Homo-oligomer: A and B are copies of this chain.
Amino acid sequence: MTVRIGIDIGGTQLRVAALDEKCNILKRTAFPNVHSAGPEENLGRLVDAIEGWGLDYEGIGIGCPGPLDFEKGQILTPPNLPGWEGFPVADFFRRRCDHPCHLNNDANVAGLAEALVGAGRNFSSVVYITVSTGVGAAYVQDGKIVGGAHSLATEVFNMIVCDAPVARPGMNPGALEDQSSGTAIARMASERMGREVTAPAVFALADAGNADALAVIDHAAECLARGVNNINAVVDPDVFVFGGSVALKNPAFLDQVYQKAKGYVLDPDALLFCEATCGEDAGLVGASLLV
């Protein structure tokens, strides 16, 4: 039996699992990410857990919030991991565990899981789009993540999909994430309604027929449909797999995006949307598949 280690580094939690070649989870554990402790101490707990299992394994795959340098296996300037700037994650595990280690960003890793064992498993080219707090994506062609020449492929959050007067920090004016993410939906609705509303509340209000909520969701769907068209116009995948709470908890929204995108792509009959199926463990499964 081939065993691989998958690690999912998050801002609040660090998760590690041992998986077999069919991606069944054999062992798993999780720790809080203690921000006062820094990467060496936090990741050290994962090393202890792996060693405690006493398993014979092939290698370690690690998913981590970006931006990263995949080639160097290094974190760059992650907004959700203060104190981890420039930390050589892959080298750390390579040195401590003496096994091959591979690092990639969390969206790419989740997309790899969906492409190989999830909703995209029967297709050779898969674009994964996750819509939650932000908008992330992955492009998996023939089982391999397309990472780009500078580890910046599928950073589609910053794609420009409409005219917009203001740019928010770290984003272009009219950036996809600034129009279609859960954060954007909450912001646009709050501005329009003159009170703080969360993204789930906006969807609930829209269900109840609230005109402001409906307008905000229509705009978010319109911009996401343009994003789908634009990604499709570059790589023309077999299928788009959608993950993230905004996409998965609101099927009517995803259908709205689908109908609008069909109006934009060159071959509407060829446009295929699926919902992600790997759930919460996509990060661990996809990380193990980096090995």
Q: In the bound complex, do residue B159 and residue A162 qualify as a contact, i.e. CB atoms below 8 Å apart?
A: no
**How many Å lie between the Cα of A150 and that of B266 in the bound state?**
10
Among A125-143, those with CB < 8 Å from B are 125, 139, 141
Scoring A residues 250 to 290 as 1 if CB is less than 8 Å from chain B, else 0, what string do you get? Answer: 00000000000000101100100000000000000000000
Q: In the bound complex, do residue A150 and residue B270 qualify as a contact, i.e. CB atoms below 8 Å apart?
A: yes
The residues of B that contact A150 with a CB separation of less than 8 Å are 236, 267, 270
The residues of B that contact A125 with a CB separation of less than 8 Å are 148-149
Interface of A is mostly: loop
Closest to A234 in B: B234
Q: How far is the CB of A176 from chain B (nearest CB, A)?
A: 8
CB of A104 closer than 8 Å to a CB of B: no
Q: In the bound complex, do residue B155 and residue A266 qualify as a contact, i.e. CB atoms below 8 Å apart?
A: yes
**How many Å lie between the Cα of A232 and that of B154 in the bound state?**
8
Interface stretch (choices A188-196, A223-231, A241-249): A223-231
Q: In the bound complex, do residue A160 and residue B229 qualify as a contact, i.e. CB atoms below 8 Å apart?
A: yes
Q: How far is the CB of A262 from chain B (nearest CB, A)?
A: 12
Given contacts A148-B125, A234-B235, A236-B148, contact A229 B153 (CB under 8 A): no
CB of A182 closer than 8 Å to a CB of B: no
The residues of B that contact A151 with a CB separation of less than 8 Å are 236
Interface size class on chain A is 35 or more
CB of A56 closer than 8 Å to a CB of B: no
Closest to A272 in B: B149
The residues of B that contact A183 with a CB separation of less than 8 Å are none
**How many Å lie between the Cα of A153 and that of B234 in the bound state?**
5
The residues of B that contact A146 with a CB separation of less than 8 Å are 141, 235
CB of A42 closer than 8 Å to a CB of B: no
Q: Which of A155, A160, A267, A270 has the most CB of B within 10 A?
A: A160
Scoring A residues 54 to 91 as 1 if CB is less than 8 Å from chain B, else 0, what string do you get? Answer: 00000000000001000000000000000000000000
The residues of B that contact A141 with a CB separation of less than 8 Å are 146
Closest to A139 in B: B234
Closest to A66 in B: B266
The residues of B that contact A198 with a CB separation of less than 8 Å are none
Q: In the bound complex, do residue B156 and residue A234 qualify as a contact, i.e. CB atoms below 8 Å apart?
A: yes
With contacts A160-B161, A172-B229 known, what are 14 further pairs, Cβ within 8 A? A124-B149, A125-B148, A139-B234, A149-B238, A149-B270, A150-B236, A152-B236, A152-B267, A153-B236, A158-B233, A159-B229, A159-B233, A231-B234, A234-B234
A-B contact pairs, 6 of them (CB 8 A): A146-B235, A149-B236, A159-B234, A162-B162, A230-B230, A235-B235
